[in-house]
Amino acid sequence: MDLNLIYRIILGVGVLIALMLTALIFFTGKGDAMSGGGSGVRTSFKGKSSFDDKISNVTLILGGSFFLLMVILDIISNKIFTK
């Protein structure tokens, strides 16, 4: 398989993940993340996870996968463009 094709596919997937991450943060943001005020700590010890916990996990997974894809893109682009 051609490296240019792999590069374009991974770039497309990276753009989709970036858009999903942006939409997720935009639509679920409460606007008080940097305000310093807030009501303490949430835990889900021996209980059901809340919607916020699930959104936090999805955000973490999307952010991690975006980071990994960008590292892979950097490696591939170095192989393509240094020929």
- For the chain, the domains span 1-28+50-83
pLDDT of residue 18: 95
Which residues make Cβ contacts (< 8 Å) with residue 18, sequence separation at least 6? 66
Instruction: Find the angle CA(60)-CA(34)-CA(20) to the nearest 5 degrees.
Output: 35
- At 5-23, the pLDDT tens digits run 999 999 999 999 999 999 9
- At 33-72, the pLDDT tens digits run 555 555 555 555 656 778 888 888 999 999 999 999 999 9
Residue 14 tokens read as 């990276």
Whether residue 82 is predicted with pLDDT greater than 90 in this model: the reply is no
Backbone angles phi, psi at 27, to 5 degrees: -80, -20
